[in-house]
Structure 1
């Protein structure tokens, strides 16, 4: 008898009865990595669970390292050598690593100058968008009609100090070029201006102007604009203070149509409202906003379909809007676009060609003369509004344009006023011809060679010397003539100053002075800015057409002593430069009622001036400690610092 006994064996290591250990992860969780402790790889791990940190037990998946093949490395190395060889041929005198910081314009200049970038200015277009511009761009002027931005702020005139924002394209002749040079000379200026600009924005946020243009539905019927004494006063103001610069309207015909109040066609209503808008501006102070309603009414008749119109009134209305009004309310890019479209309209109508002889007889003679005036007024407006932007002219005086200069006299118009208007326009055309050549040259290369620069300057001096006596002498005359004479002279000083200013901007980027010609150009630029400031102080008048132009040219001139102070803070001429800036600040304050941008212009200049004084104060110790034995330098630095401190303590800021 056999008995079989079945026992129970101990479970083996591989048996199912024994509990298996949890598989350890390949990586530790983020919390264990941070604490540098052992992690079991579970989710959550023991360490996190014991500390009640389950939420922090997170594993990050590591990316597998890709090792390039030998063939790929050889291909990349070969491509890199080929690119280096091409760059070395294009820029033989420059390190390739230094080219990365240059803009497109600077690279082009380096190629044109044989690869040397020693004379290439820091491009003022560094802020020019190289990618597609979004709706948040600083120069999106359409956004300004919706957002509560100050009416005086725009990127073209640098009235908002937009150093770090996207801006429209601006060249060497622009204010932004001068501001960029200031920042390169004194990088600390950026931080000082940023804090002052923030304070300025906080002060002005409750004093923001309302948009002038309120879009509305197009009218189905156009009501007549009846004559009124107020409207008559605005028309008179227009022909007294605007017509002298751009006499494109037939004054007798315009006044007759306004008095009769019979016309109700859209081109006429657009022109009449633009005349009333400009008349309202020049007849009132800068705080008045009546011009907005006239402009809004004019825009109802100047929609996109207006660009296909063949009516001269529509063309003239667009010229007033793009050449004057939009620049007054600081919408310069939109104004330039409309003025460019007006040029295309005028060429489509054949205004750039001289009428045939049979078209110059009888009534056709008067019409031909109005065409001449309109075309050349467009040329002058386009030149005046773009000379200080550094953009190309796109050919205002091409060989295909054979229209003659305006002639004197249209039957029925006042003799002396008509003669002076035509004389002023003809002289402005000659000035604009020189200005266009200078503008195109500076758009190609920022720094002109001394021969070209002297040739342009000689042309300007010759133009000014041969002006008619009534436009060159300081004799007593009627207000329109005095106004035209002053503004022409301010433009003359400003253009000569812009001609030499690149030499100053170039010098601020160099450690040593170049040729004697460059030194002479800098001194001439500084002297011209001084003359311009003194001339404006003596001759400006208390109305907006004078104040508007005076503030703009004063703003341009004030940048020269400001840049000079930052560049050479220990120069013996610092006291003179400081006096010029103080004169400009005083004039800005006096012109507050007669210019929409006087307050903001004063704010920008005073911010830079105070920051400059602060930088000189900060540099006093560094100047005095190593040069304690130099009593002359010590006295000069202390004198400048003391004067700057007194100016800052007196509160000569943007808002007094």
Structure 2
């Protein structure tokens, strides 16, 4: 019981920088504490475990300022003394009001007195610094240190926006030339960097497996690129000021290239039932050869170029067509032919900052140039071109509707590119959603059907909502309820979009369509679904892997989130199925950049899925779900690697780097997947009411228990992956039977599976573990005092993570 005037250290309850104390918490003895008494502000608002250091482990790994709450003195006084002080205060306020009737003057006097009091006590105030704890750093791969120019961008958590400051913010990543660029939360490069951090942490578990034979792609290249992105985004394209922009190919070559381009990226030369998902302009007419001799003798070179400025559109079209037709079997001559065309177009347009020379007709040219730069993997340059085109369009009022149907379609195509690059780079879009007041495309004479473009615009709007509101890149929806509401809202928007598609855009019963534009549109939809639930999926992977090495009193139930996790992996499978279909449908046609992007992300998801527990309920059949091949994910990943290997034969650095990443990641996951669990039977965390904690199914499948109703209230040894390890060993020797075996277990009800596990004799279970576990000399034990154990415990124990740059209760 506290005595009067007893002093106690407490935290300042500031809602701007800290969350309120959980009223359900109870006093814990110091010797039984698993967490520090006072967490820093950053860990507090994220509800994650703080190590108590200055800076703590979380802030140090995320490059955030580690700020602890200030200390105030809490004094306990008698109730009668408190009441007497209140009466005296009220009397003093009444006297002050009588002596100083003016309210503004009273406030000024009070403020001056408060300032004087604060300044006199400034020397006695201090920041609370918890005792330092000696901890070992997380092991990193030694052969490839992180480059000094690589860094992660983090906001100041002590500001007024601390509650919105994310734990997985965008990053300043450097390319191979050392150019640093900001890539936001939705960027694939940012997600890969988070994945590299995860793999670097578990690096010892992956490389202390001498019984696995070495592979050419052992993952070292992937781990060495932490803090970098393996692309050439910042490198300039072909630059030659001596190119002649008035030189055109033969009329036959121009006609062939324009027809090819119209088939690739517009309306399929009139064969696509949906009318295509882009509209660039008139790709059916061949330009007339220029005749500079018709100009007066005194005409300047610039006057001649201005006269034929419209040829910039065709030169850009030739560049895109040349790039789209480039395959290993059909290389252009010269190899940089597309860049020559692009240089001619840029020469005709002139200075991009000279606003006096730009017209509304140049919007289509700049949009097509942005598309070409995307195909050349110059995304930063494309970001600038598309942004410039959008500003020119707004200068001419295109966003308000002062256009005909052709101009309207060009603007909406530009809008789609703007939203695509915003999602690709994790950056705010050029124009806000509320600023666009242009009607959607509609059918018109002499133009292709507008159904495909209209559906693409609506999907781009959903993409903008996911980037801006779900990931908080540039939020414009400030309603309460955090990221969970935005995730559910985005899922509902995607479901509504899919269910409202016209017949020309719906897939057949086999999950495909003879319209390539329709297939690509559905691949975009699947990619947005992957992007939306990928943070939950990745947290599930980290927690499932951590629980193989850390014994928990509370267990995060993956089944609670299985619909979201399954939706992510199913969308990835559908995209790889559609990619196969498109390559088969197009014959010699290759996948363009958007298709390659979807294939790469899908392969990453399917490889990470191998680290999840295999005991998941059988997914409900979907009306348009593609049939899965008997070889399951292994063929899908091999197909994705083959796509990039084939594309790399054209000299594409992007394809070569993507293939290397996939091969390295496959090698790492193979090692982690077959790594035996090294559980240390200690208690981590305590009882929790967080939704999704352990259920009887998980406990029965994960631990050897003789009780018919396992409980999580007492300490126990948890071995969630012994049976999982047994299955994987069986997979290595019998490649066709495991699929049937896996389906058999999926179709069994959980209760029946529990009874089978409980009725199995204990000696037989031990015999199974000994049969598939490696010898003691090859076992990498994870001990409680190890740095890697502490990191795994952090993954397994955190229940409130900062997903989507906002609090999302998992």
Using the size of structure 1 for normalisation, the TM-score is: 0.64
- Counterpart check, 1:562 vs 2:618: no
What's the RMSD between the two structures over aligned residues?
4.6
- Counterpart check, 1:174 vs 2:206: no
How do residues 228-243 of structure 1 correspond to structure 2 at under 5 angstroms?
A: 228-243=251-266
Pick closer, same or farther for the CA change 1:248–1:391 going to 2, 3 Å: same
Which residue is equivalent to 1:223?
Answer: 246
- Counterpart check, 1:495 vs 2:528: yes
Which residue is equivalent to 1:325?
Answer: 372
- Counterpart check, 1:469 vs 2:510: no
Which residue is equivalent to 1:441?
Answer: 469
Q: Could you tell me how far apart the structure 1 residues matched to 2:159 and 2:608 are?
A: 29
Corresponding residue to 2:319 among 267, 271, 277: 277
The alpha carbon displacement at 1:530 in A equals 2.0
Q: Could you tell me how far apart the structure 1 residues matched to 2:288 and 2:313 are?
A: 11
The alpha carbon displacement at 1:195 in A equals 6.2
Q: Could you tell me how far apart the structure 1 residues matched to 2:633 and 2:613 are?
A: 11
Corresponding residue to 1:507 among 531, 540, 543: 540
Pick closer, same or farther for the CA change 1:455–1:86 going to 2, 3 Å: closer
Q: Could you tell me how far apart the structure 1 residues matched to 2:218 and 2:394 are?
A: 46
Q: Residue 354 of structure 1 contacts residue 404 of structure 1 at CA under 8 Å; is this kept in 2?
A: yes
Which residue is equivalent to 1:378?
Answer: 414
The alpha carbon displacement at 1:139 in A equals 7.7
Q: Could you tell me how far apart the structure 2 residues matched to 1:85 and 1:613 are?
A: 48
Gaps of 5+ in 2: 1-8, 22-37, 41-51, 65-152, 208-216, 226-231, 268-276, 293-303, 476-480, 548-554, 619-630, 681-716, 736-810
How do residues 479-628 of structure 1 correspond to structure 2 at under 5 angstroms?
A: 482-508=515-541, 510=543, 512-513=555-556, 518-540=561-583, 541-543=586-588, 546-566=591-611, 576-589=632-645, 596=652, 597-619=654-676
Larger Rg: 1
Q: Could you tell me how far apart the structure 1 residues matched to 2:400 and 2:168 are?
A: 38
Describe the SS at the equivalent of 1:387: helix
Q: Residue 170 of structure 1 contacts residue 176 of structure 1 at CA under 8 Å; is this kept in 2?
A: yes
Describe the SS at the equivalent of 1:636: helix
Bigger mean CA offset, 273-282 vs 502-511:
502-511
Q: Could you tell me how far apart the structure 2 residues matched to 1:643 and 1:517 are?
A: 32
Q: Could you tell me how far apart the structure 2 residues matched to 1:89 and 1:629 are?
A: 40
Q: Residue 406 of structure 1 contacts residue 426 of structure 1 at CA under 8 Å; is this kept in 2?
A: yes
The alpha carbon displacement at 1:292 in A equals 1.7
Which residue is equivalent to 1:419?
Answer: 448
Pick closer, same or farther for the CA change 1:225–1:107 going to 2, 3 Å: closer
Pick closer, same or farther for the CA change 1:327–1:631 going to 2, 3 Å: closer
Q: Could you tell me how far apart the structure 1 residues matched to 2:587 and 2:421 are?
A: 23
Q: Could you tell me how far apart the structure 1 residues matched to 2:612 and 2:196 are?
A: 8
Q: Could you tell me how far apart the structure 2 residues matched to 1:640 and 1:113 are?
A: 50
Corresponding residue to 1:267 among 300, 309, 319: 309
Q: Residue 321 of structure 1 contacts residue 335 of structure 1 at CA under 8 Å; is this kept in 2?
A: yes
Q: Could you tell me how far apart the structure 2 residues matched to 1:195 and 1:549 are?
A: 26
Pick closer, same or farther for the CA change 1:634–1:486 going to 2, 3 Å: closer
Q: Could you tell me how far apart the structure 1 residues matched to 2:721 and 2:533 are?
A: 34
Which residue is equivalent to 1:364?
Answer: none
Pick closer, same or farther for the CA change 1:184–1:489 going to 2, 3 Å: same
Q: Could you tell me how far apart the structure 2 residues matched to 1:572 and 1:617 are?
A: 23
Q: Deviations over 1:40-87 (max 9, x none)?
A: xxxxxxxxxxxxxxxxxxxxxxxxxxxxxxxxxxxxxxxxx99x9598
Q: Could you tell me how far apart the structure 2 residues matched to 1:547 and 1:178 are?
A: 21
Which residue is equivalent to 1:138?
Answer: 175
Corresponding residue to 1:342 among 383, 389, 411: 389
The alpha carbon displacement at 1:275 in A equals 0.8
Q: Could you tell me how far apart the structure 1 residues matched to 2:720 and 2:260 are?
A: 64
Which residue is equivalent to 1:247?
Answer: 279
Point out which structure has higher relative CO (alpha carbons under 8 A, 6+ apart). Answer: 2
Q: Residue 494 of structure 1 contacts residue 553 of structure 1 at CA under 8 Å; is this kept in 2?
A: yes
Q: Deviations over 1:137-193 (max 9, x none)?
A: 52879x7xxxxxxxxxxxxxxxxxxxxxx5422214534324414532662449978
Which residue is equivalent to 2:457?
Answer: 429
Pick closer, same or farther for the CA change 1:261–1:170 going to 2, 3 Å: farther
Gaps of 5+ in 1: 1-80, 130-136, 144-165, 202-207, 356-366, 645-656
The alpha carbon displacement at 1:311 in A equals 2.4
Pick closer, same or farther for the CA change 1:377–1:307 going to 2, 3 Å: farther
Corresponding residue to 2:17 among 90, 101, 111: 90
Q: Could you tell me how far apart the structure 1 residues matched to 2:557 and 2:166 are?
A: 14
Q: Could you tell me how far apart the structure 2 residues matched to 1:437 and 1:283 are?
A: 34
The alpha carbon displacement at 1:394 in A equals 4.5
Q: Deviations over 1:219-274 (max 9, x none)?
A: 8x86353643212211111222222332131345xx15447879953531221210
Which residue is equivalent to 1:100?
Answer: 59
Q: Residue 470 of structure 2 contacts residue 487 of structure 2 at CA under 8 Å; is this kept in 1?
A: no
Q: Could you tell me how far apart the structure 2 residues matched to 1:337 and 1:319 are?
A: 10
Q: Could you tell me how far apart the structure 2 residues matched to 1:643 and 1:593 are?
A: 34
Describe the SS at the equivalent of 1:168: strand
Q: Residue 123 of structure 1 contacts residue 172 of structure 1 at CA under 8 Å; is this kept in 2?
A: no
Using the size of structure 2 for normalisation, the TM-score is: 0.53
Describe the SS at the equivalent of 2:448: helix
Q: Residue 536 of structure 2 contacts residue 565 of structure 2 at CA under 8 Å; is this kept in 1?
A: yes
